[in-house]
Structure 1
Amino acid sequence: MRIIPVECVRNGSFLGKTIYDSEGRILLREGIPLKDTLLKKIKENNIHQIYVVDEYSNIEIDDVIKPELRQKSIKTLKEVFININKASKSNLIVDKEPYIDSVNNIAEEILNNILDNKNIMLSLVDIKNMDNYTYQHSVNVAIISVVIGVGLKLSKRDLLNLCIGALLHDIGKAFIPNDIIKKPSSLTEEEFKLIKTHPQKGYDYLFNNFNISSSSKLIIKQHHERVDGLGYPNKLKSDSIFRLSKIVSIADVYDALTSNRPYRKPIHANDAVEYIMAHSGTVFDHKLVTVFTKFIVPYPIGTIVELSTGDTCIVENNNFRYPLRPIVKILESSDEARKGKTIDLLYALSTVITKIKYYV
């Protein structure tokens, strides 16, 4: 199974992962043959990349949490955001406790799911419906953040606070007009200024709520701060930024880069990892980036890649803690004798992956 842009899918491929609509209902079940009419339906639902099973890859990629929990989490966050947004428009006073309690419960379920998973390497990029982007993104950021936290050997209390803060990191966007949040083109300077208020708005909204820890609240306020002091809302520098906030900052950017947005297409996981590594020490905390890169799988099993040797290969396995150096099998080569040969890039140090390919 591998991820492919919808427009690149060939007839004869099968859907690798179930697709859901904006209401969390099943749109298409995994295993269904993909034909032009179905691909058109997928595009109409604002989904622009999908997982397929074809002659190159029929291996399933497991998520770190159960699919039903992912959908339940998205639905819960959607209800929270929508109700807060409605209340803000009508100046109603809303009892926050039931909403926060539901998020706390979801966070515990996500945390327990991840802790029960023996293999917590993240090899799955979530396929998002753009209408539900904010809620799907928040769930993904929580999952990625917790995996980093597990890698850091954080206590269960810290992991839970991390998960809650990550789930709610964009809660302030409930106070930003939807036409700005979903704008399909670049934001104006004034619109961007308004967007940049969402960390403070979210923090202020939850400030007096005692059902959420101060740690989780700080995550909401600081997830856009940068270690070089050029972030917002307070331009804090590295030592002044809460450690859990720095974790969420990495997860937030990684998921955003690998997601389809109205104003740009997603980039591949390996490019997103390279971006974060390139900004280590300026935007992101260097030590946390090092941990992050050990648990993210930029080249999932089944990915077709081209090597610096010119060979076209398929990823057969990943090296734990060295995900940028997978084990590959040569599918096409100018040297016929090399076809079918397996290369462990952890040891073939002079060979690098130069690009992702969708077909041989």
Structure 2
Amino acid sequence: MRLVPIQYVKAGSFLAKSIYDDKGAVLLREGVKLTESYIRRVTQLGIFTMYINDEYSGPEVDDLIKPELRQKAIKTIKETFYSFDKFSSSAGKGSMQDKKFIAERQKYFQSISEIVKEIMEELLGRRNVLINVVDIKSTDNYTYQHSVNVAVLSLVLGIQLQLERRKLYDLCLGALIHDIGKALVPQDILLKSDKLTVEELNIVKEHAQMGYDFLKGSSDIPATSRIIALQHHEMEDGKGYPEGRHGDEINILAQIVAVADVYDALTSDRPYRKALSPNDAVEYIMAHGQTQFNYEVVKAFSKCIVPYPEGTIVKLSNGEIAVVEEIYPNFTLRPKVKIINKKYGNGEEIYKDLRTELGLVIVGPEYEIPE
């Protein structure tokens, strides 16, 4: 399968991963032959990339978690956000102590806890978990889909860092609810297509403190998970928010979530910008180790992220176009590739192993396939 911006998707291609609507129902099922009408409909839903299968696609890439579990998690997070928003706006601050609200909050947090256990069961049962899929998000459901992705990515990083099981649980739970404070940020600000004003940006920044204030009243959420909601926008150099903490002053679980949060955000289409390719997002994170991010977390990230999954069409630094054939653990930026825009005189296919072809690098993904 190949991840392709929707403007490059051609009618007649086959969908490689199912697309869901904002209620979690299947909109287009994996394997369907795409038509112009289907492509227009998906675009109207605010979805700007698709996974497709074609003659260059590699083998199917396994989801990090089952699609059914992902949709269940998205639904639960969405309902939790709505509950928070409803009670916090219905009767002022007093409503936050309302018995009905407390009971409902406990119900949702118990559901979230069960989802965390299911996600952990799936990922801990796998070996050499690599992050090689960018999840497809819609504009309307972005916050909830993003929350689930950040939880999964954070857990993969936690496993790479060899955290003990209890810390992995706190990490995954905190990552799932790290953005719960955004339930109180006006949608017209979150979905604004233009640059935010200073005032609007300050409102968005309040979500970290508001989320923490909401969570600290619940005994169902571990203290370290609550800290993640507060500190996931803090930076190594002290230029983050809400408290401007430095380095070791920031909880390590929050530092892990910070990397997962930025990676998923950068590889997502937003109202104000198009998604970066996975390789550009990886380069951004690696370039900001020790300033924005914890260096040890960035090193772990670099070992388990696959910016060019098998089947990706790439452009090499010598101008050749190639398809990624094989990924090597710990050398994910230097895969084995097959050249597709030239052949030897006898028609023999050309393969290059970038671990040994040190003069060549991948410039980036290529979507215009040579005839």
Assess same fold via TM > 0.5. yes
SS at match of 1:12: coil
1:132-157 superposed Cα distances (whole Å, 9 cap, x missing partner): 00000000000000000000110110
Structure-1 residue corresponding to 2:213: 204
1:291-337 superposed Cα distances (whole Å, 9 cap, x missing partner): 00110100011111111122111001111122111111111138657
Shift of 1:340: 1.7
Is contact 2:315–2:362 with CA below 8 Å preserved after alignment? yes
Asked if 1:302 corresponds to 2:311, the answer is yes
Q: 1:337 to 1:162 in 2, by over 3 A?
A: farther
Asked if 1:117 corresponds to 2:119, the answer is no
Asked if 1:264 corresponds to 2:265, the answer is no
Distance in structure 2 (CA, Å) of the matches to 1:99 and 1:217: 15
Structure-1 residue corresponding to 2:18: 18
Distance in structure 2 (CA, Å) of the matches to 1:232 and 1:336: 60
Matches within 5 A, 1:60-209: 60-91=60-91, 92=95, 93=98, 94-95=101-102, 96-209=105-218
TM-score computed with the length of structure 1 as normaliser: 0.97
Distance in structure 1 (CA, Å) of the matches to 2:347 and 2:264: 36
Distance in structure 2 (CA, Å) of the matches to 1:258 and 1:74: 18
Identity across aligned pairs (percent)?
A: 48
Q: 1:53 to 1:207 in 2, by over 3 A?
A: same
Is contact 2:279–2:364 with CA below 8 Å preserved after alignment? no
SS at match of 2:194: coil
Distance in structure 1 (CA, Å) of the matches to 2:186 and 2:90: 13
What is the RMSD of the two structures over their aligned residues, measured on CA atoms? 1.3
Letter in 1 for 2:341: E
Structure-1 residue corresponding to 2:54: 54
Distance in structure 2 (CA, Å) of the matches to 1:271 and 1:299: 11
Shift of 1:117: 2.2
Letter in 2 for 1:8: Y
Shift of 1:169: 0.4
Letter in 2 for 1:79: E
Structure-2 residue corresponding to 1:35: 35
SS at match of 1:40: helix
Is contact 2:237–2:291 with CA below 8 Å preserved after alignment? yes
SS at match of 1:68: helix
Letter in 1 for 2:73: S
Matches within 5 A, 1:227-242: 227-242=236-251
Is contact 1:12–1:54 with CA below 8 Å preserved after alignment? no
Q: 1:336 to 1:185 in 2, by over 3 A?
A: farther
Distance in structure 2 (CA, Å) of the matches to 1:337 and 1:348: 23
Q: Is the deviation greater in 110-119 or in 286-295?
A: 110-119
1:190-227 superposed Cα distances (whole Å, 9 cap, x missing partner): 01001001111011111121111111011110000000
Is contact 1:111–1:160 with CA below 8 Å preserved after alignment? yes
Shift of 1:338: 9.0
Distance in structure 2 (CA, Å) of the matches to 1:129 and 1:150: 28
Structure-1 residue corresponding to 2:327: 318
SS at match of 1:197: helix
Distance in structure 1 (CA, Å) of the matches to 2:256 and 2:248: 14
Distance in structure 2 (CA, Å) of the matches to 1:55 and 1:130: 30
Shift of 1:339: 6.1
Is contact 1:331–1:339 with CA below 8 Å preserved after alignment? no
TM-score computed with the length of structure 2 as normaliser: 0.94
Is contact 1:15–1:32 with CA below 8 Å preserved after alignment? yes
Structure 2 residues without counterparts, runs of 5 or longer = none
Distance in structure 2 (CA, Å) of the matches to 1:45 and 1:79: 21
Letter in 2 for 1:31: G
Letter in 2 for 1:19: I
Distance in structure 1 (CA, Å) of the matches to 2:54 and 2:65: 25
Structure-1 residue corresponding to 2:7: 7
SS at match of 1:51: strand
SS at match of 2:188: helix
Q: Is the deviation greater in 176-185 or in 149-158?
A: 176-185
Q: 1:289 to 1:36 in 2, by over 3 A?
A: same
Letter in 1 for 2:136: I
Distance in structure 1 (CA, Å) of the matches to 2:85 and 2:176: 17
Letter in 1 for 2:25: R
Distance in structure 1 (CA, Å) of the matches to 2:212 and 2:128: 34
> Number of matched residues?
360
Shift of 1:11: 2.5
Q: Is the deviation greater in 175-184 or in 60-69?
A: 175-184
Distance in structure 1 (CA, Å) of the matches to 2:58 and 2:358: 29
Distance in structure 2 (CA, Å) of the matches to 1:324 and 1:246: 24
